[in-house]
Structure formats: C-alpha cells, structure tokens
Structure 1
C-alpha cells in the first residue's frame, strides 16, 4: 500500500455509498491513511459531495433509494468533481453504473485488501490529475501575465511612436527652413544637416519598432498594388530620400530591368523595406563607398538586391542578423541601432510571400537579396494604418 505523502495537507477522502456501515469500517482498516466517509444513499451523496470533495467514491449497486446510476451523471457534470474517480462495487446493476460514468467495476466479493489496492491506484491517478491541473493553472496564470505585459508593451510602443511623430516632424520642418537660409555659414549648415539626418533616423527607429510589434501581433495588413518597373524606380527614389543626406557622399547605382512582370505588393511597405536596406548599406560603408540597388526578373517573380562594398559582416553575426535587437558588431559608425530595421524587412518580405537573405565577405561588402512572388499567397487583407514615415 502507498504511504501517505507528507506534503499532503489533508488525507485523501474516500466515500462509500452503501447501507452497510460495516463495509466502511472494514475499508477504513484497510486504508489507514485515508479518511473513509460513510454515505447511506444517493440523496445523501448529493449533499455530502457539496460539503467535501471526494477523491474516490465507491458506489455499491445494492444501495437502496434513488438509483445511483441516475445520480452519477449529475455529479460528473460538476467541475469541482472533475478529478474524482467513481468505482462501482457489486454483483448486479454494474452495467447501468458503467454506462452512467463509473471509471471501474469491482465485485462486492473482492477481499478488503484487493478493494484497497484498487482504491490506491485510483487515488494515485487523482493525485496525478490534480497535480497536472495545478501545473496547467500555473502556466495559464503565467500566460495571462505574459499577455498582459505584451499588451502593455504594445501600448507603450504605440504611444511612444505617435507621441514622437509630431515633435520630430516639427523639428525636421524647422531644420529644413533653417537650411534654406543662405545666411547660415557652411559649417553650421553641415551641423544642421547632421541634426536633420539624426532626427530622421530617430523616426526610422520608432516606426520600425512599432511595425515589428504589429507584424508579430498579426496586425500587418497589406495594401497591395501591381508594381511595374517604373514604379520600382519611383519607390527606390523615395526610399533614398527617406535615408537622408548621408547618401550624398556615397556612390549610389540603381538598375531596374525594364518591362518586368508586375508583382503584387504594398508600395509603402516596399519603400520602407528599401529604405532600411539602403540605410543598412550606408551604415557599413565609408564616405566614397558604393551602393548598388538592382531589380531583376526572377523565375518566381522579382528579385531585388542591395549591394555595398563596405567592410562586410562577420560570419558569426549573419545567423541572427534579421532578429530584433541584433546587429553586426563590426560597423564603421557609432550610431546606435536596435536591429529593428532588418527584422522589419524580413517580416514584411515574408508577409508578401517572399524571402530575404544576405551574403557577405569580410572586406568585400555585403549583398542583401529579396524575392517577391508574382502572385500573393493570400487574399488582400483589410486595411489598417501603419506607422507613417515622415520625410
């Protein structure tokens, strides 16, 4: 027989529904660590099961009064008795009890030791089920806490981006006005351009952060259009303006194959992808470096590549390069980057049904390549505003 668990606060409860009290006394002697409760009939069982949650209930088929097979279905519907095991005991009427929901059958001629062993097995299963239910409850509470924290984070990110957009736009507008003033000395103009570029970079960081959170939450809704060769050129031109004045001291080459088969894509999201990839190439090249953007036909659609001749990316950094808050440790510039830009690119490209990857060689630069399929995998989704990128 199983010894009582010292960690258990109360002994297991075993109810015996029978008119014969002697059966309960014999059973109590065979189960010294359990509390055996005598219940005289089915109506009493309904009351007792409300007051005390039993672990195992023995249903003697010869119990007088309301048939136990009529009462058992009512008891099995109660949530607090979900782990309770029901053992039908007798010679006649066991089939009705089994049909009503009894977990096992045993003859009333079974010796006390054999009956006690059957109950011990059931008690062990009850303990396992309740332990599993407790673990499930703990996991559910953790999940609820995690979901609450995720909602709070999403709200904070959303508030952060939308609260920053207006003041950043105002700063960038004022800086543009100041730059138009010819009385400003050249060295001061250079500083103002840097301030303007950094303000735009801050907007990129905030927008990427919000968009990555939206994609992770499944809230990215594409506004697809058919993108032809001239529109690719327009998107790349707009993406260059998003990157800022840092491109002025880089040699940028754009080559779009004419008469490409159109792909279905969201032009605004594609512009954001290109801006992030060009900005990333800018980060890894020095003044006078070269960045080449090419749009070519691909067997499954269109292939877009952004190549630079910068310092390259260490091989150990490449596997995690598209993860949020990851970036190459080897850069030519000290600017902080969350890594959200490349994470956004990967998620946005995959949302279009495409793929993105990178090849790199130390000292020879890197090539980021993405493919967009001719036909989307899913139907167009409902529209939802994305984080606007102010330029």
Structure 2
C-alpha cells in the first residue's frame, strides 16, 4: 500500500473547515500509523457538535533565521521565513509537506496551527553583523507568505524589513497578501534605491475559483491593485502566474499577464503545478469536491507534464514540466511576454550599499 492510500485522512465536516481549502487532516509521512475514524455508535453526532477550526499560533525562538539553499532551480541562495504554516490555505501550496517536520498535518493543520518567530528580527541583525557575512539578496516568502493574516498582529515581517533597511540590505519578497501595502514606506525607499523588489502571485482571475482554491487570500482584483500601488511607490513588481494548473487555470495565462502589465508589473514568471508528497492527495480531494467534472482531466494533464507521475522532483523539470503541453505553455508565455513588454530577468539588486549600522556602545570611526 502506497503513502497516499495508507495516509488518507477522514473528511472534516464542512461547518468546521469553513474558510479553509483542505478537506482533511491527512497524516504526515513520518507518522508510524495511519488513523481512520469509524463510528462505533458511542459518539454519533459528536463531530457535528465540535466548533469551527480556529487559527492557533505558537511561538518559536530560532537560533538562526537565514536559511541557505543551493538549488539550481532558484535564483537566490538565502531566505527568511517569519512563520511556519500559512493561514492563506492555498490548496496547491508546495510548502505544506514542511509542516510534517513539526509533527503536524500538511492538511488543515498547515492552515490553522501556525508558528511565529517573534525574535527573528533580532537574530537577523546579529547574523548580518557577523564578520564572516557576505551580502547577497535575501528572499522572503519562499515557503510561507510573510504577509499572511497573522502578520497584522505579530508584525515580524515589518520588523525584519526595518533591520534590512537599516543595513541597506537587498531583499526580494513574494506574497499574495495585501498587508504589504502597510510597508510601502520602507519598500518604496528601498525600491527607488535598487534594494527591493516584489513578486505578486496571481493564479487565476476567476474570483469564485480563487476563493475556493485560496480561501484567505485577497481576491485577484485586489492583487492587481497591490501591483498598482507597489509600482506607484517605486517598487519593481514581477507578476507570478503561478502555479499554472493544466485544465483549470492555464487558459488564463495571457490575460493574467496582460492585466498585471496594465497594473504596473514590469516582469513576469510562471511555474506549473507541482504536487510533492502530501500535497497530491490533498489536491485530488479538493478537485473532486470543487470541480468534479474536470478532476480526471486536470490530473491526467498534470501527470503528462510530470513524466507520468503526480510530481517529478528532478531539477530543471519540477518547475516547468515536460512534454507537449509543457512546451506549449512555455511558448505561450514567451510570446505573451514579448508582446506585452514584460521582462523575464531584471537587473540584480544592489549589494554595494550594504553597511552595518553602529550599535549602542560601538566605537565610532573618527575618519568614517
């Protein structure tokens, strides 16, 4: 019996998961046992009496906050994630399996049992002050969204940006959250100086589909407004038409790119849908519940683009796929970007302005 069959979770009643994308709390791959709920007659109706799932936030004090990677598929070698889990709850999110390392489910736990790192800004300042630190752009939002709803209360992303601004350190942000507009004062300054740029993910322009697929994310129209406001403040914005879901959203690619260009985006990128580990059964359950007439077609096309599997993890193929449909999608993207004047690559962010600001008690340089 494979992972997907052995670890399928039971469906949580709709009233308990309203406003969430996952239908179940699928067991994570590290669980030694699969659990299946069976009504033995003793607690009939008990599930119906349970309250809706609420967002819970635990606190973590990390020893390091800058995470390094050497992936040939990524354009950066370091990143910061202020939160674990994401209240946005996008059903296709490739980061869901990371919740298994905490002993949580990549399903509803990923959307409701979150972890915040309030000491992250202080850790970042300490790491940037290290004599061995070599500056290069830091990416934010590569695993979970730095502007998910709990940022409004915890303000960790805001404080991280204040540290980066004080050091004139380059940063690239990826988000779907309109809360980023709160930080236009910092991002606008950094943008004009070549120290910051932002990627806004727009998966679909269909508001109803977006609400079901990305339940706590601002509407597509609102995300286009975010692009407009960021661009107006002096921030270069890349529209990320990601993920492109074959048979469901891929027909919208050109319209997404055009709408974002009209809003002020200057660059574009896309990634095809990828379904690593626990994401695959979660996504398939979502398809059957939300678009049952297209579920089989979508998954057939996904497998076609990933070499007959739900997901191909190989470098160079996992982001773009393979086969005829993947090649057509790539060609359409190139043609659209050329027609719309959208760039694939932007000039590198500036690293030459980096400096460590004096801390209280530091000896000042008389000749600096």
Calculate the TM-score normalised by the size of structure 1: 0.21
Q: Which has the higher helix share?
A: 1
Q: Which has the higher strand share?
A: 1
